[in-house]
């Protein structure tokens, strides 16, 4: 004998997805938009670099302004002087970046290249410490890749400051967009009505 409820489709509950199983279309549209914008950004890395750096400067000014406002609300605090000085530094740094985003992007690119080389060296050290382990090649490959990328940026610096940040932002948008697309499609598939097997 079969259960009467088997004739009606049932939704398989997926706690991790929540309402995403029913609203996957919005995430799919967001993913497609990010992929399109990121692809466009690959063709205009200079402008994307300058825009990203300028927006970062705006955020610094806004954050500094909020801290200055808080300074006047925290009278009697022992560290209020340092808090105020940090806020002023935020504002000055933000204004400097907004005034010359090209110079700022060049400096940021130099710092980024140095960070990549440092990260690569640390990954190589990790790989050396993991000698004999099964998966030691992943940090080894990651370290070599990071050092190679950092050296490549340094070799083209300061010209690389015109496109590196914009390139990274565009690539991040593309990867983020594809991630959203795949999650949305997975949510659509997992949220489809399932007919329980007759018992």
Query: Residue 100: what pLDDT?
Result: 87
Question: What per-residue confidence (pLDDT) applies to 6?
Answer: 46
Give the residue from 171, 50, 167, 45 showing the smallest Cα distance to 104: 50
- Count of domains for the chain: 1
Q: Is 113 among the domain residues?
A: yes
Q: First vs last Cα of the chain: how many Å apart?
A: 7
Given this model, what pLDDT does residue 133 score?
Answer: 63
Angstrom distance (rounded) from CA 12 to CA 83 = 53
CA pair distance 122, 134, nearest whole angstrom: 19
Check: CB of residue 150 under 8 Å from CB of residue 117: yes
Calculated CA dihedral for residues 101, 105, 107, 112, nearest 10 degrees: 150
Reading the chain (199 residues) residue by residue, the pLDDT tens digits are 444 444 444 444 445 555 666 667 787 888 888 889 888 888 888 888 888 889 888 998 998 888 877 777 666 666 677 777 888 888 898 898 889 888 888 888 888 888 888 888 887 887 777 676 666 677 778 788 888 888 888 888 877 777 888 888 888 888 888 877 877 777 777 665 555 555 5
pLDDT computed for residue 194 by the predictor: 54
Indicate whether 197 belongs to any domain: no
Residue 6 belongs to some domain of the structure: no
Residue 43 lies in a domain: yes
In a domain, 2, yes or no: no
d(CA 139, CA 120) in angstroms, rounded, equals 9
Query: Is 12 part of any domain?
Result: no
Domain that holds residue 140: 21-190
User: Do the Cβ atoms of 115 and 163 come closer than 8 Å?
Assistant: no
Residue 47 lies in a domain: yes
Output the pLDDT for position 67.
82
**Residue 1: inside a domain, yes or no?**
no
């Amino acid at each position: 004998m079969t259960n009467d409820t088997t004739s009606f489709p049932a939704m398989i509950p997926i706690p991790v997805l929540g309402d995403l199983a029913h609203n996957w279309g919005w995430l799919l549209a967001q993913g497609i938009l990010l992929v399109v914008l990121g692809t466009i950004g690959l063709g205009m890395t200079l402008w994307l670099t300058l825009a990203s750096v300028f927006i970062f400067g705006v955020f610094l000014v806004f954050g500094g302004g909020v801290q200055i406002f808080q300074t006047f609300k925290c009278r009697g605090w022992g560290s209020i002087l340092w808090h105020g000085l940090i806020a002023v530094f935020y504002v000055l740094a933000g204004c400097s970046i907004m005034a010359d985003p090209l110079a700022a992007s060049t400096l940021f690119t130099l710092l980024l290249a140095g960070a990549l080389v440092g990260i690569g060296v640390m990954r190589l050290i990790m790989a050396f410490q993991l000698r004999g382990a099964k998966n030691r090649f992943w940090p080894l490959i990651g370290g070599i890749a990071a050092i190679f990328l950092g050296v490549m940026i340094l070799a083209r610096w300061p010209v690389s400051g015109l496109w590196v940040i914009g390139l990274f932002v565009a690539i991040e948008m593309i990867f983020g967009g594809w991630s959203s697309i795949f999650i949305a499609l997975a949510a659509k598939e997992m949220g489809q009505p399932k007919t329980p097997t007759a018992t």
